[in-house]
Amino acid sequence: MTDAKVVCRELGCGEAVEALGEAHFGPGSGPIWMDDVACTESESTLKNCASGGWGVSDCSHTEDAGVKCLGRHPRLVNGFHLCSGRLEILQGNTWYTVCAAAFDQQDAEVVCRELNCGAPVQVLGAAAFGKGDAQMWTHKIQCRGDESHIRRCSLSTSIQCR
């Protein structure tokens, strides 16, 4: 968990929830850069943690490490491609559909930036991409538009969704 805390902090993804092993998210490919990692939690990046040496490893990709961080993460679902769709936010282990009344152009700019989708063309609401199966996110997201990630935006009190 100490190593996971450093990773989540470095990525700006909130607090570490779980450190996972045995290629929990699937095996990687290519060189294995770190093995026997031993962070003290004071490091600002994973590469500053003690290890067996950069590029020195006696493990395979079946042992790849994974991390779950607690923070708001966006995804777009039911769209025509990766950069369109209904906005859902992961909070903890639960996906929430974002209420159209809780989302505006500045918020879209942040989500599109975070997902590497360029600038938003149009903010659609009222289930333009189908009604979500997820629970409804009813907090108003308040982004300035220049944040790097939606989790850096503030939230206000609950709002009514239709």
AA letter at 92: G
Residues of the chain with CATH 3.10.250.10: 2-70, 73-158
* Cα within 13 Å of Cα(32), Cβ side: 19
- Those residues whose C-beta lies under 8 Å from the C-beta of residue 1, and which sit 6 or more positions away, are 16, 18, 19
pLDDT digits (tens, 9 = 90+) for 52-61: 888 888 989 9
- Looking at the chain, the whole-number percentage of residues with pLDDT higher than 90 is 30
Superfamily of domain 2-70: SRCR-like domain (3.10.250.10)
Residue 73 pLDDT > 80:
no
Tell me the average pLDDT across 124-144: 80
- Those residues whose C-beta lies under 8 Å from the C-beta of residue 112, and which sit 6 or more positions away, are 83, 118, 119, 120
pLDDT band at 156 (very low <50, low <70, confident <90, very high): confident
- Distance, CA of 72 to CA of 67 (rounded, Å): 15
DSSP state of 151: G
Tell me the average pLDDT across 131-159: 82
- Is residue 131 classed as helix, strand or coil in its secondary structure? coil
Q: Residue ranges of the alpha helices (H) in the chain?
A: 2-11, 105-114
Mean pLDDT value across the chain = 85
Cβ pair 70, 41 in contact under 8 A:
no
- Those residues whose C-beta lies under 8 Å from the C-beta of residue 120, and which sit 6 or more positions away, are 105, 108, 109, 111, 112
Residue 23 or 151, more confident: 23
Tell me the average pLDDT across 74-85: 83
CATH top class, domain 73-158: alpha beta
Tell me the average pLDDT across 122-131: 76
pLDDT digits (tens, 9 = 90+) for 86-114: 888 887 668 888 888 778 899 999 999 98
Residue 55: per-residue pLDDT: 86
